[in-house]
Chains A and B, each alone.
Chain A
Amino acid sequence: MRDSVFSRRKALRALALTGGAGIGAAVLAGCGETQVVTETKIQEVIKEVPVEKVVTKIVKEEVAVEVEKVVTQEVEVEKVVVQVEEKVVEKVVTKVVEAMAKPKEAKLQFWMQEWQDGLNSMQGAIDTFQAANPNYTVELVPIGYGDLLSKFYPAVSAGTSGEIVYTYTQWWNPIDVTKVLHPFTPELRSRSEMNGIFFPSTLDSVWSKDGERYVVPLICGCEGPFVTADVNAAAEAGVDLEGITDNSQFTSWEQFAEVDQQLRIYDGDKLVRAGTYSPGSMMGFWGPAMARQLGGEWYNKAEERFDWTIPEVTEGFQFIADWYGESITRDVQTDGWPPLVKQRSVMHNVGIWTVSYYGGVAPDLTVRPFVMPRFGAAQDLVYMNAAIGSLTVPKFVTDEKKDAAFDFMVHIWQPENLASFGNFYSGSHSVKAVYENDAYRSSKWGRYGSPIVPTKIWPYVEYVPHRVAQIEGDHVGKMIDEVAFDGLDLQEGIGRIQKDLSTINDEALARLKAGG
């Protein structure tokens, strides 16, 4: 048989070779970045530089000072001339010739959790940033909320994550952040300047051994200090929540507990509607907060270890577990999302963010935030709060990309860029100036937090520098849940979390001591 010009065997060989060559080319092309050589041009720029000069001027000013001198029933007023020293700041413009290199270009990726409204807001900020900095390009990359951590960790480890990443502060508990992230202090701002921009407790949410700041905290759902309530449903039950509270804060634990009880509905012995819907994880915020309010330091900062065996923990956890076991049942919990819509409770103990959440899922409800009081017999007011959504710049980002990322950080935390969040989100902000921004204060959802978050929440929030992520939901809250509903002995439960959390804490410390 004559060989065909192009047999099947030859065709398959050609295909394999071509495919292999193609794959090889693709692999080579994918390896490493294309090297682009840029020429640095020096250009002279004449720039007007404002220079501040302080000039002291002596000004004589006549000031009327009232001096009472009683003279036969007449009051005399003496006028006194006072010398006032006035400091006048003069702006002097100096012409300076600078030799400037052509501005370096940088292209950044910003990994943000998949949250359409949040993405839209961030994109707006990115657009204004790029307009002001045409040499910078920022690409917004949405990552599914549930995937953000699992994608971020390996990517940062491999140096392939975005240059700016939206993270949650509790992720950094077990990690030595000095090894992974760029510090913003003192390079970007000093620590005191950061304390002026952000509520100081938000900066404490991520601890670092050198005391510098490694995350830019932005927004927080504020689980811990708040309950949100359907005020109309409460009114129908005879409770005027806005009337009886002090600027939306319960005046005492007794008042809150009484209201909670008043709002419950029972069918015989069965709780049909709770006063307050609380998932177990919330007890993980309330239990430790109660212990702290009683003065108990359940994490020894000097020795870097948990000590849940202190008496304040027992007292606080028992108090919380007793209330919890009486206030809700598993039936209502598992069946009750969203509880205010399903009328399984009147108050919802999951943070101020639920005000806008209910605004979206049930616009007919009138949901308002209320601040928790001190627990029981506690003297101090301390809140354990949720993790804060924050921006970070991984350490592998260098040179012009790092400069660009830092410039972007400063841009993002300008209040006008964060104010737009108030149009769709009622969670709290870490940047002080947001609450002074008129647009935010009058926005659809920002107006609820503005009167209370700056003064009633952040000053009382405490972030404890332990080494365990998720202690509220995975450990403490679960234990209190079992004490309340499953008859677990409290001391046994405390022993369990002491052991489990110490194991994880010590593992993290071992890594830190080995070099971080």
Chain B
Amino acid sequence: MATVARAPRPRWRRPSSFVLVVALALLIYYMLFFTAPFIAALVIGFLNWDLLSTVVPVGFDNYVAMADDRTFKNALKVSAIFVGAYVPIALSAQLILGAILANMRTLPQKVYLTLFFLPVVTPWLIAVLMFGYLFNTQAGLPGMLNDIFSALGIDTSFVNPLGSKDTALLGIMGMTGWKFLGFGALIFLVGINEIPLTLYEAARIDGAGAVRQFRHITWPLIRPIMLALSITSFIGALQIFDPFFVMTRGGPGDATNVFSLYLYRQAFDQFRFGYASAMAMVMFLILLILSVSQLAIARTRWEY
């Protein structure tokens, strides 16, 4: 009886000089731009310091102060609402768009993908200026809609996306969703395109319609992509800063005063670098917990 020769197990080989040099360069880069600032922020979080005056060690006072800081708790709440509402809706929209694009022919698929990807490459400042005009209650979209609806006898002049505490956060969510829709759709499109067509053919032969095909074929096989995008979306949404800083400055009131904006203002408006660093550590912990939780879910083996 013939036996199958097993390939010998590769022995560990000393990496080449080139690899060592590149690895060393990356390590230095990581230490300089990630590890060192992180350690610095960790240490500063235990200080009362404004970068210029005498350093006053305060132990855990900065962390204790957060528990008593109404604005900090509000910032956490606003960020949680933003992340909790934005991420699921955005991911769903990205998945739907990706699925639609996957079913298009090559040329229209490329055209639509390009159009949807344009906001992704648009700088935040441009996007913010555009939406500032778009949300204008007189010359922008609410104004135009009000002109239309008021002709039908319906007054929608109260609609002021950025001027109302109830809608300002929604307005920024909409803008952020618009900006990243194409990116997520592209990722999902790539993932869907990797699914073997034979599975869909077999499902069609068995009489499965589009919805059942999505539910039993597409969805299970793109779950890893969904989880990866989910992790990055949560991290990105919690750290988002530009639109809040430029469009609303945290207002009206504290309605859009998110965590990242409050942290920035404590550091650069109030010179409380110790307190801001402590807040940065808290943000890091939150992101770490979120990421680890989602990775733990990702390790789950799914039966197909």
Residues on A facing B (Cβ under 8 Å): 9, 12-13, 16, 149-150, 153-154, 156-157, 171, 174-176, 179-180, 270, 280, 330-331, 333-335, 342, 468-470, 474, 478, 481-482, 485-486, 496, 500, 503-504, 507-508, 510-512, 514-516
Contacts and interface: CB of A to CB of B under 8 A. Distances in A.
A214 to B, nearest CB: 13
19 contacts: A16-B17, A150-B268, A153-B51, A175-B50, A179-B52, A280-B251, A331-B160, A331-B163, A334-B163, A335-B136, A469-B271, A470-B269, A474-B265, A481-B252, A481-B253, A485-B253, A511-B53, A511-B56, A514-B53
B235 interface: no
A470 B249 CA distance: 14
Contacts of A335: 136-138, 160, 163
A516 B272 contact: no
Nearest to A153: B51
Given A9-B16, A334-B252, A511 B48 contact: yes
Nearest to B56: A514
Contacts of B18: 9, 12, 16
B48 A153 contact: no
Contacts of B157: 270
B65 A503 contact: yes
Residue among B48, B53, B162 having the largest count of chain A Cβ atoms under 10 Å: B53
A325 to B, nearest CB: 13
A259 to B, nearest CB: 24
B271 to A, nearest CB: 5
Interface string B28-56: 00000000000000000000111111111
Contacts of A180: 52-53
Interface in B51-69: 51-56, 65
Given A331-B160, A335-B137, A496-B70, A176 B53 contact: yes
Given A331-B160, A335-B137, A469 B270 contact: yes
Given A13-B17, A179-B53, A174 B160 contact: no
Interface in B230-268: 251-254, 265, 268
B71 interface: yes
A468 B270 contact: yes
Contacts of B163: 330-331, 333-335
Nearest to A16: B21
Nearest to A158: B51
Contacts of A270: 157
Contact of A516 (B16, B53, B70, B265): B53
A52 B52 CA distance: 46
Contacts of A481: 252-253
B48 A12 contact: no
The prevalent SS among residues of B at the interface is: loop
Interface of B: 16-18, 21, 48-56, 65, 70-71, 136-138, 157, 160, 162-165, 251-254, 265, 268-272, 275
Given A174-B271, A175-B271, A330-B252, A510 B48 contact: yes
B52 A153 contact: yes
A357 B36 CA distance: 44
Contacts of B271: 153, 171, 174-175, 469
A79 to B, nearest CB: 72
Nearest to A155: B51
A223 B99 CA distance: 54
Nearest to B268: A150
B98 to A, nearest CB: 35
Given A13-B17, A335-B137, A500-B71, A175 B160 contact: no
A451 to B, nearest CB: 35
Q: Closest 6 A-B residue pairs measured CB to CB?
A: A334-B163, A515-B54, A511-B53, A514-B54, A16-B21, A157-B51
A13 B19 CA distance: 11
Contacts of A470: 269-270
Given A150-B268, A175-B53, A334-B162, 17 more contacts: A153-B52, A157-B52, A174-B50, A174-B270, A179-B53, A330-B160, A335-B160, A481-B253, A482-B253, A486-B253, A500-B71, A507-B48, A507-B272, A507-B275, A512-B53, A514-B54, A514-B55
B17 A149 contact: no
A507 B65 CA distance: 12
Contacts of A511: 48-50, 53-54, 56
Nearest to A471: B270
Contacts of A503: 65
A56 B50 CA distance: 59
Contacts of B160: 330-331, 334-335
A197 B50 CA distance: 32
Residue among A13, A334, A508 having the largest count of chain B Cβ atoms under 10 Å: A334
A174 B270 CA distance: 8
Contacts of A514: 53-56
Contacts of A496: 70
B117 to A, nearest CB: 29
Contacts of B50: 153, 174-175, 508, 511
Contacts of B165: 486
A12 B164 CA distance: 61
A489 to B, nearest CB: 14
B53 A330 contact: no
A156 B49 CA distance: 14
A176 B275 CA distance: 19
B56 A510 contact: yes
A156 B52 contact: yes
A387 to B, nearest CB: 12
Nearest to B47: A511
Contacts of B55: 514
Contacts of B272: 504, 507
B252 to A, nearest CB: 5
B245 to A, nearest CB: 9
Contacts of A174: 50, 53, 270-271
Given A153-B52, A482-B253, A515-B54, A504 B270 contact: yes
Nearest to A12: B18
Nearest to A270: B157
Contacts of A154: 51
A174 B54 CA distance: 12
Residue among B17, B55, B71, B163 having the largest count of chain A Cβ atoms under 10 Å: B163
B27 to A, nearest CB: 14
A32 B210 CA distance: 69
Nearest to B16: A9
A9 B162 CA distance: 60
Nearest to B50: A174
A476 to B, nearest CB: 14
Given A153-B51, A334-B252, A9 B17 contact: yes
Contacts of B71: 500
